[in-house]
Chains A and B, each alone.
Chain A
Amino acid sequence: MRSRQSNVGQGADRWLARPGRPRTPKSRSSPPAFRFERVVRRYGRHIAVDHLDLEVQRGETVALLGPNGAGKSTTIALLLGLLHPQAGSVEVLGMSPRRAMAEGRVGAMLQGSGNGLPPGVRVSTALRLVHRLYGDRVPMELTIERSGIAPYLGRQTHRLSGGEAQRVRFAMAIAGDPELVFLDEPTAAMDFAARQSLWRTVAQLGQQGRTLVFATHHFDEAEHAGRVVVINHGRVVADGPGATLKAAVSTRRLRFVCDRPDDHVLDTLEGVTDVEVRGRGVTLVSLDADATVRDLVRRAVAFRDLEVTGARLEEAFVALTTKGSIRSAGSP
C-alpha cells in the first residue's frame, strides 16, 4: 500500500485546512484593500457575521462563496459602511469604510428587491450623475464600453429588464473607476452574453490592478476569482486560490478491481494525482476522469467494476456550507 500526492492534491487539502487566515502576508508599505477583525453583526437574535476575520490585499480578485443567508451581503454592507459592526473592526484602504466611500475610492453594485435605479429618468442621465459624483474621473464612454450598456442609454430606467438594470448597476459601480469594487451577486438576472461581458470586464479591471470582491452562491462563478473565500454562518470556512478550487471541482475518484495492479502504470496514468492500492482494490484520484479511463484502456490495464465518484472537495464544500463544520478532507 502506497500513496502519492501531487501539488494539486495538496493544494486542495490546504484549501480547506486554513479557514479564515489571510493568505498573503501583511504588506507594510500600503494598507490592505480591506481588513476584517473579529467582526460581529447580528439582526436581532440571528447572527449574520460571526467574529469574521478576513484580509484582502490590493489587486486581488476575490469571490465570497456561500449559500443564501451565509452572511455574504452583510459582509459587503459592512465593507461599504452601510452597516456598522457591533464588535470588531472593519478597515477599508486603511481607513473607515465611510471615508473610503466619501473619497470615491470604492464602487459597489448592491442586491435588492427593486432595480436600484432612479425612477423617471433615462439611463444616460442616471449614469452621468454617478460620474459627476465621482468627479468625472473617467469619460462616460469608457464606462459604457466596459459595461456594454450602449443599447439602453436612451431608455427610461423603469423600462429595463432585470438583467439590463443589473448591467446598468454594474456600470454605476465602475463609473468612478474606483480602486476597490464590490459586486453583490452581480449576475443573478443576467443572460449568458451579459455574464460573459461582465466577467471579461472584471478580469480586465483585475489586470489593471483594481481590487474586486464579488459575492456568489454559484460554484462555477468563483473560478473568475484569483482567491475564493467560502463563507457560511457568518464565518470563513475555507480560503484558497481560485485555481485550486477549479482543480478541486473537476477532481474525481475512480475505484476498480485489478488482479495484478502495476504501481508504475497507475502512477503515470493521465490526469492521476493520487494512487492508493489495497490488495486488489485500486483507488485513483484524477483531475480528468475521462482521460484517465481512456488511458486505462489504451494501456490495457485489466480493470473491472469501475466506479467514478464526484469531487471530494465539492462534497466537502456542500458539507461545509450546509452543516457549518469543517470536515477533514484528508486521504481515505
Chain B
Amino acid sequence: MKGLIAFGRFELTRLLRSWRFLAVTVGFPVVFYMLFLNNHRSGALVDGMLPWREYLMVSMCSFGALVAALNAGGTRLSTERATGWARQLRVTPLPPWSYVGTKVTVSMLVVLPVLVLVEAVGAGFGQVRLAAGSWVALALLLWVGSVPFAVLGVFVGFVVNAETAYPVVTVLMFVLGYFGGLFTPVRNMPGALQTTARILPSFHHASLGLALLAGQGLSAQHWLVLAGYAVVLGMVLVWRHRQEELRGVA
C-alpha cells in the first residue's frame, strides 16, 4: 500500500511538472472559452432552455475534462511504454494492475482542478451566476462523469505507439469536442451529425451538466452511456493488459 501511494504521488508530481501537459490542459479550455465568448456574446437560449453563457461554460468544462484526461493518459503513457519504463516497473514489487489503476486515478485527479478553473473563468468572464451549491454540484457531477475520458486516455496510451499518440490524441480531442456538441450546440447541427453526437461520450458528459443547470435533474440515459463507455473501454484495456502479460512486453 505504501508503495502504491508512493507511485501515485510520483505519477502526479511528474504530470504536474510537465510544462507541456500544463500548457495544453490549462491553455486549450481557457483559450477556447475566451474565443467562443467573443463570438457569441448574446443572451440567446440554447435548446430553448438554457442561456448561451451557461451552455458555453458547461461545454468548456467538458472539453477541459476531455483534454486533461486524454493528455494525462494518451501521449505520456505511450512514450513511457516506448522507453521501457513501464516494463521496468513490472520488475518491481508494484502489483501489475496498479499501473493502469494509478494512471486512471491520476487522470481523474487532474480533471477536477480543470473543472474548477473553467468554472472560475465562467464566473469571472463568462457572466455565469449560479447558487453556491450549483457550482459545487456541477463540478462534482462532471468530475464523476469524466471516468470514461480517463479510461479512454489510458486506453489510447496502451493501443497507440509513441509516434502516433500525439496526433491521435489531438484528433480525438477535436472530434469528440466538435461532434459532441461542445463547440456548437447539437441542435444547430445538421440531422446526421445530431445522431452522431448521441453516440459520443462528450455529448452525454456535457448533457449531464446542462440538465443540472436547466433543473431537469439527473438523466439516466446520459449516465448509462457514460458508464457503458467506461466499462467497455475498461474491459478492452484489461484484456489488452492481460494479452501483454501472456505474450510478454516486447
**Residues in A lying within 8 Å of B, measured CB to CB:** 77, 80, 82-84, 98, 101-104, 106-108, 110, 112-121, 125, 129-130, 132-135, 169, 172-173, 176, 182
Contact present for B87 and A115 (CB under 8 Å): no
User: Which of chain A's residues has its CB closest to B92's CB?
Assistant: A133
A82-B91, A84-B246, A135-B2 given as contacts; is B84 within 8 A of A113 (CB)? yes
Interfacial chain B residues near A132, Cβ < 8 Å: 2-3, 6-7
Give the Cβ gap from B129 to chain A, nearest Cβ, in Å: 40
User: Which single member of B92, B96, B245 contacts A130 (CB below 8 Å)?
Assistant: B92
B36, CB-defined interface residue at 8 Å: no
B88 close to chain A: CB less than 8 A: yes
Within the complex, which residue of B7, B17, B87 is in contact with A116, where a contact is CB–CB below 8 Å? B87
Q: Binding site of A, secondary structure by majority: helix, strand, loop or mixed?
A: loop
Residues of A within 8 A of B88 (CB): 110, 116-117, 169, 172
Q: How far is the CB of A231 from chain B (nearest CB, A)?
A: 18
Is there a chain A Cβ closer than 8 Å to B39's Cβ?
no
Question: Which residues of B sit under 8 angstroms from A83, Cβ to Cβ?
Answer: 247-248
Q: Of the candidates A82, A101, A173, which one forms a contact with B87 in the assembled complex, judged by CB atoms under 8 Å apart?
A: A82
Q: Interface residues, chain B, CB within 8 Å of chain A?
A: 2-3, 6-7, 10, 13-14, 17-18, 76, 79-80, 82-85, 87-88, 90-96, 245-249
- Measured between beta carbons, the chain B residues less than 8 angstroms from A115 are 83-84
- Check A125/B10 contact, CB under 8 A, given A80-B91, A120-B17: yes
User: Which residues from A are CB-within-8-Å of B245?
Assistant: 84
Residues from chain B with Cβ under 8 Å of A134 in the complex: 3, 92-93
What 9 A-B pairs come out closest when comparing CB atoms? A114-B83, A112-B84, A132-B6, A83-B248, A116-B84, A108-B91, A104-B93, A114-B84, A133-B3
Closest chain-A Cβ to B71's Cβ sits at a distance in Å of 13
- A106–B92 Cα distance when bound, in Å, is 8
Q: List 27 A-B contacts (CB under 8 A).
A: A77-B248, A80-B91, A82-B248, A83-B247, A83-B248, A84-B246, A101-B91, A104-B93, A107-B91, A110-B84, A112-B87, A113-B82, A114-B83, A114-B85, A115-B84, A116-B84, A116-B85, A116-B87, A118-B10, A119-B80, A119-B83, A130-B92, A132-B2, A133-B93, A135-B2, A135-B3, A176-B93
Cα distance, A135 to B7, chains bound together (Å): 12
Cα distance A102–B93 in the bound complex, in angstroms: 4
Q: Which residue of A lies closest to B5 (CB)?
A: A132
Given contact pairs A82-B90, A103-B93, a sample of 9 additional A-B residue pairs in the complex whose CB atoms are under 8 Å apart: A107-B92, A113-B82, A113-B84, A114-B82, A119-B85, A121-B17, A132-B3, A133-B3, A135-B93
What residues of B have a CB within 8 angstroms of the CB of A129 in the complex? Answer: 6-7, 10
Q: How far is the CA of A106 from the CA of B91 in the complex (A)?
A: 8
Q: Which residue of B lies closest to A84 (CB)?
A: B246
What residues of chain B lie closer than 8 Å to A118, measured between beta carbons?
Answer: 10, 14, 80, 83, 85
A120 contacts across to B, CB distance below 8 A: 14, 17-18
